[in-house]
Structure 1
């Protein structure tokens, strides 16, 4: 379920960002290309960020008492 929600929100925010960037650069706006790229980046971030953060977490040292 979280993959679907990330895809939806990535597409929404990607469309907003894509429109603003295309207007600032006086370029053409293609909503399909922007949505596909935004969803791919969102899904990759969903998988990569926890993997990177998990490996960077300090290991717990068992204390001997």
Structure 2
């Protein structure tokens, strides 16, 4: 699995019972035709469109860091 990017929460929050803690780096893995976001206690699987929409909807909650910015 290749890391696509990281989501870094600006504050701790819960999304669909999955916990994301402030300042932690949560990887998004590229898995062929879908992506997996790994939280503290579970995962989300997304299509590219779904991931893009989630990042857009979470823009006030997370910073996005690409692998190149690491």
Task: Indicate the TM-score class for this superposition, using the shorter chain for normalisation.
Answer: under 0.3
Higher relative contact order by CA 8 Å / sep ≥ 6: 1 or 2?
1
Give TM-score, length-normalised by structure 1. 0.26
Give TM-score, length-normalised by structure 2. 0.25
